[in-house]
Structure 1
Amino acid sequence: MVVLALPTHASNRLDRLRHAFQHVWTRTVIATLFCGLATGCAHQEPVSQAAKPQVHKAPQKHGSAFKRFGYRYGPGYYHHVRYYHGYRPWRPTAGEASQEAPSDKSTTGAEVVVNKSAIKGLVPVYFATNRVVMGGPGLELSQISYARSATNTFGYVTVSIPVVHRMGEVETPKMSWFGLRKEAEDDRKHFRIQKLYRLSREEFASAIANPADSMMLFVHGYNVGFSDAAFKAAQIAFDANYKGRVMMYSWPSKGGLFDYDYDRESALYAPDGLFDLLQLIKKEARVSRIIVIAHSLGSEVVLGALQQAALSQTTLGITELIFAAPDVDRDLYLERANQIKSAAGAVTLYASSADLALLASMKKAQSTSRMGFVTQSGPTLVPGIETIDVSAVGSDMFALNHSTFSTSRAVLDDIGRIISSTAHLKPPQRTPTLRSIPDELNTTYWMYPY
C-alpha cells in the first residue's frame, strides 16, 4: 500500500475549508429557523386569493346569504350561530327594509358561499383607508397596498368567524417552521374575508346612515395588514358580544415585524384621513353612540385627528374613547390630555408593565415612558381619564403582551360592558374585580389583581 502524505500547509488549508463550510452551514440553518419563527409569529401575510370557496350566481338583493344562515344582515349586525335566532327572529328594520345596500355579489359577479357548519358567525365591517388602492372600480385584497394616499378609500367587508374560534384569538393560517409552506385557508379553522366591496364616498355615507344603536370604530396599531385589521375589528366585536355597527380605519402599516420606522411615519401621516372619516360619521351616521378603540401606534393617529378637531373647533361627538396599549410618548400624551378629554364623553386607558413591545418602543425612542406603559412608579395618570393597569392579565410571549385588550377574557369583558352599555359606568361598577389604587376613598387608577 502506498500512503500519500499531503504537505502540512495543504492539510491545514483543508481543515480551514472544512471548518468554514460547517460555520456557514450552521449560520444558514439558524437564520432559516429564525426567519421562519418570526414569519410564523407575525401572521401578517395577506389573505390568499387562491383558496376561495366555490361560488354560484346570486340574487341581486344584499343580505340574502345572511338570511339563508339565519343572520340578521348588515349594515352592522351579526348573530352567533349557536343562538341561531332562537331568541330573535330576523326582521328588517325600517331603514334596512327601505334602503338598497351593496350588492351581494363579489366584484367578479359571483356570490361567495359560506359553509354554515364551518363558521360561528359573520361580522360586517365598514372601512375607510388611506392606503393606496390600485386598479379599477372592482376591489381585491391584492389591490390594497401599504403605500400612502392623500385621500380615503371606502368600502365594506364581511368577516367569517371559524367554528373553532376561541375567545381572544384571531385564527389565521400558520407558516411551517422553515417558512417554506403556508397552511391552506379553511372556513372552519380561520378568520376569512368572504366579501369585499369598494364604495364611493356617497354610497358609504348612505350605507352608514341606516338606523343603529351605536358604532364601534377600530384603529389598528403597528405591524397590521389590511385584512388583519378587519379580522381584529371583527374579533373584538364578536368576542365582546357587541350588537352595533362595526367599522375600522386602516392606515398604511407595512405589516412587517421589522418595519416599525415605516409604520411610525405612516402613523404621523394618517390623522388627516381619520379626521375626515370622523367628520363623515358625525354628519352621516346618525347613531346614538360613537365608540373609538385605538390600539398601539393607532393611538398616535387618533391623537393627531383629535388635535385637528381641537384646532378647527370641530365637535366629533365621540361617546367612548378607548386607548389599548397606546404607543405614544408620555410627554406628548400629557400635552394633548385636554384635547383627548374634550373630544369624548368618557376616556378609558388600558396600560401594562408587561408590555414588551412598548418597552422596546420606549427604548428605541429614548422616551422616559409611553402612554400605555406602567413603570415602577405606576401608570401615567391624567385626571378625568380612567386608567386601568392590566399587567396581571398579560398575553402570551409571542404576542409581546401587546394585545392584552383583545386576548384576555377579563379585559374583553370590561370592553364589552363599555361598548354595549347605554350609559358610561365607572370601572368598579362595571367590573367589580378591579382593585382601586391606592384605596376606594382616594382612587387614582384601577388594576386587575394578581
Structure 2
Amino acid sequence: MEPRGTRYRRSGLAALTALAFLAACAEEVRLKPLPPGTPAQSVQTLLVASARRPGTPETGYSAQRAGRPGFARFQISVPHARAPGSVTFPRGDRADPSRDFLIVSSETLTDEAAFVRALDAAAARQPPDRRGGMLFTHGYNTSFPEGLYRHAQMQQDFSGRQIAVNFAWPSVGRARSYLTDRESALYSRDALETTIRAMGRSKLTGFNLIAHSMGCFLMMETLRGIAMGSSPGVLDKVDALVLISPDIDIDVFRKEVEPVLRRRVPVYVVVSEQDRALGFSARLRGGMKRLGSVRSEADLNGLDVEVINLSRIEGGDALGHLKVGTSPALIAFLAGLKRSGTDIFTSRRGTGLIGSSVQLVQEGAKVILQLP
C-alpha cells in the first residue's frame, strides 16, 4: 500500500494542476477605460486601499508588495445586459460598454488622510441612515482588475447603498502561486489594519467587513491583532464580519476569532458543500478540513458564530467558491429581501440580513426566509 503522506502529496499536486488548468483557460484581465464620448451604464464608485505597489494603467496595481498602503478611487461602468452574478471582462482591444465592465474614472488619493477625507465626503453626500460602509477583500489567485470588477458586480447586483471600500492585497493572480499568496496575505495585515482604523476614524456610522477565501485568513489575522492590541475600540464600529468560503484551518480560526467575539462583533460564515476550491486546499494539507467546508454551527464546537449554508442554492461560479456573489438564484432571493425591506447591506447592528437572527433554510431548490 502506498504511504498515506505520499498519497496526500500526489492528491495535492493534482489539485494544484487542476487549478492551474482552470486559470490557464482565461486571458489576463486588464483595466480598460470607457471610450471617450461613450455614455457609462450603471456606475459603481469604489474607494480602494491596497497593499500592492502601483502598476500600469492597465493593471491599476501590481502583484508586488508595497512598503505602505496606497489609496485610490475608481468608478466602474457596469453593463445592463448581463446575467446576474456575471462579470464580462474586457478582452484584447475591445471595449464595449454594453457588454464589458469598464473604468469611467480613476484617481490616486495621496495618503491615509486623503482616504479618510474621501470617506467623509462620501458619507456627507448620503442621508443620515445611509452613512455606513462596507469593506470587501478578495481571495487567492486574484489580480487587481479581477477583484475590482467582481466587487463592482456584487455592489451592483445587491443594490449596495453602503460606501464601498475594496481592499486589494498582492495576490500574484496565478493558480500555482498559492503559497506565495498566503505569505502576501500575511504581509498585508498592517495595511488592512491601517485601513480599518481609518474607517473607524471617519464619519461612517459603522461598517461591515466582508472577506472571501484566503482573504478571510488575512481578515482574521488582522482582527485578532486589533482585538488583542492596546486600542481595540475601532471594532465597536464594526456592524458585522462576514467570511465567504473561508480558507482557514478550523483550529486556527478558533484562536483568531475568540478575541474578536469578546469585542461583541457578530460573525457570519458562509459555506457550501460544493466548494471544490476548498477541497483542493484541504488536500494540499493532508486532508485537514477548512472552515468554509463546515455544515453548521455544530461543527465549530460552541463558537458563537452563525453559519449560513448555501449548499442547496443553485448556480454560481464553476468551483462553487463564490456562490453568494455569483448565483443568480441567490441574488434574486436577496433582491426579494431588499424589496420587502430587509437589506443585506444595512449597516446597523441588529438590522438587515447580516445583522439579525435570520436563518436560511434550503428545501430542494427553494430558499425560505424565517424571521423570529
Verify same fold: TM over 0.5: yes
1:276/1:184 CA distance change after superposition, 3 Å: same
Deviations 1:94-141 (A, max 9, x none): xxxxxxxxxxxxxxxxxxx4424xx2x10000001011125xxxx724
Hey, what does 1:157 align to over in structure 2? 74
1:410/1:433 CA distance change after superposition, 3 Å: farther
Hey, what does 2:197 align to over in structure 1? 279
Alpha-carbon distance in structure 2 between the residues aligned to 1:167 and 1:289: 28
Hey, what does 1:123 align to over in structure 2? 44
**Relative contact order: is structure 1 or structure 2 higher (C-alpha 8 Å, sep ≥ 6)?**
2
**Conserved? CA contact 2:309–2:360, under 8 Å:** no
Hey, what does 1:47 align to over in structure 2? 30
Alpha-carbon distance in structure 2 between the residues aligned to 1:343 and 1:411: 31
1:132/1:425 CA distance change after superposition, 3 Å: closer
One of 131, 137, 141 as aligned partner of 1:223: 141
Q: What is the identity, as a one-letter code, of the residue corresponding to 2:149?
A: F
- Of 416-425 and 165-174, more deviation after overlay is shown by 416-425
**Conserved? CA contact 1:148–1:252, under 8 Å:** yes
Q: Does 1:204 align with 2:115?
A: yes
- Of 286-295 and 255-264, more deviation after overlay is shown by 255-264
Hey, what does 2:229 align to over in structure 1? 312
Give the CA RMSD over aligned residues. Answer: 3.0
One of 252, 256, 259 as aligned partner of 1:332: 252
Alpha-carbon distance in structure 2 between the residues aligned to 1:200 and 1:238: 27
Alpha-carbon distance in structure 1 between the residues aligned to 2:328 and 2:229: 39
Q: Secondary structure at the match of 1:358?
A: helix
Specify the structure having the higher radius of gyration (Cα): 1
- How many residues were matched structurally? 329
1:378/1:240 CA distance change after superposition, 3 Å: same
Alpha-carbon distance in structure 2 between the residues aligned to 1:290 and 1:376: 26
Q: Secondary structure at the match of 1:315?
A: helix
C-alpha displacement of 1:368: 2.3
Where does 1:3-402 land on structure 2 (aligned, <5 Å)?
38-40=23-25, 42=26, 45-47=28-30, 49=32, 52-55=33-36, 113-116=37-40, 119=41, 121-133=42-54, 140-142=57-59, 144-173=61-90, 182=92, 184-201=94-111, 202-210=113-121, 211=124, 212=126, 213-284=131-202, 286-313=203-230, 314-316=232-234, 317-343=237-263, 345-374=265-294, 379-380=299-300, 382-393=302-313, 395-396=315-316, 399-402=318-321
Q: What is the identity, as a one-letter code, of the residue corresponding to 2:313?
A: V
Alpha-carbon distance in structure 1 between the residues aligned to 2:161 and 2:96: 26
**Conserved? CA contact 1:318–1:345, under 8 Å:** yes
Alpha-carbon distance in structure 2 between the residues aligned to 1:373 and 1:233: 23
Hey, what does 1:85 align to over in structure 2? none
Alpha-carbon distance in structure 2 between the residues aligned to 1:344 and 1:141: 41
Q: Does 1:418 align with 2:338?
A: no
Alpha-carbon distance in structure 2 between the residues aligned to 1:374 and 1:35: 25
Q: TM-score, normalised by structure 1?
A: 0.66
Unaligned regions of 5+ residues in structure 1, if any? 1-33, 56-112, 175-181, 437-446
1:387/1:36 CA distance change after superposition, 3 Å: closer
**Conserved? CA contact 1:351–1:379, under 8 Å:** no
Identity of matched residues, %: 23
1:393/1:378 CA distance change after superposition, 3 Å: farther
C-alpha displacement of 1:266: 0.8
C-alpha displacement of 1:431: 5.9
Q: Secondary structure at the match of 2:266?
A: strand
Deviations 1:213-243 (A, max 9, x none): 2111101101111111111211111111111
1:266/1:192 CA distance change after superposition, 3 Å: same
**Conserved? CA contact 1:122–1:160, under 8 Å:** yes
1:382/1:235 CA distance change after superposition, 3 Å: farther
1:311/1:431 CA distance change after superposition, 3 Å: closer
C-alpha displacement of 1:376: 11
1:53/1:353 CA distance change after superposition, 3 Å: closer
**Conserved? CA contact 1:414–1:430, under 8 Å:** no
**Conserved? CA contact 1:193–1:227, under 8 Å:** no
